[in-house]
Amino acid sequence: MNRDLLSRSAAACGLLLSDAQLDAFTVLTKELQRWNRQINLTAIETDDEITIKHLVDSLQLAPLLEQGMRLLDIGSGGGFPALPLSLVRTDLVITSIDAVAKKISFQKHMCRLLNISGIEAVHGRVEQLGKTSPGVYDVVTSRAFSNLPQLLGLASPLLCEQGVVIAMRGAEKEAELQEHYRSIEKAGFVFEKVVRYDLPMKMGERCLIIARKSSFYG
């Protein structure tokens, strides 16, 4: 892991990482690489790529989250953004869900290894979670879904009143807002804003599309 790069990028988000936190991120990176050699968790493999595309990208959410929020990450894969957020925002109550068992196994392994208590990693489908935990979450995040209306439809029953969806996207996906603007309203959401940022070392332009559940729709 590139400690200096992560430290500087986190500071740009208003996060001053301690040596203990940087050590934890180093362990996370090494374990991700070790597991990846055996069970193929991610196509992102090098120290710089993991630092930037997994860790720095995940931490962009931290300044947007209020104290004590209940967060659900849909299609969490190897635990991004859930694991990095749990290391810098211990006030959050995080649930991560993925349909691939080996990815949830990795997340649980990291929670044990780093003594993380703020995450519940769930193996399953989000549709089932919508039946068992309706209206539980303050915010739903996802890097996995390419279809914004589909994400909003899945998130809606899980969110509390005025809950928020933060869709993590490549910059090119911002065009979804024009294509799906009416679908956003039909799903019972109000578009709030787009947060744009560039990843370090020219590794991509990113955006966070933020929509709030409208009380008009219940």
Assign 218 a pLDDT band (cuts: 50, 70, 90): very low
Reported as a single tens digit per residue, the pLDDT across 89-136 is 999 999 999 999 999 999 999 999 999 999 999 999 999 888 888 899
Assign 78 a pLDDT band (cuts: 50, 70, 90): very high
pLDDT at 177: 67
What is the greatest pairwise CA distance in the chain? 49
pLDDT at 112: 97
- pLDDT above 70: percentage of residues in the chain: 94
58 pLDDT above the threshold of 70: yes
pLDDT at 215: 65
Q: What is the mean pLDDT of residues 3-28?
A: 95
Reported as a single tens digit per residue, the pLDDT across 127-180 is 988 888 889 999 999 997 768 889 999 999 999 999 999 999 887 766 666 676
Nearest residue to 128 (alpha-carbon basis) of 103, 158, 101 = 158
The angle formed by the CA atoms of residues 102, 134 and 162, to the nearest 5 degrees, is 110
Higher pLDDT, 40 or 53: 53
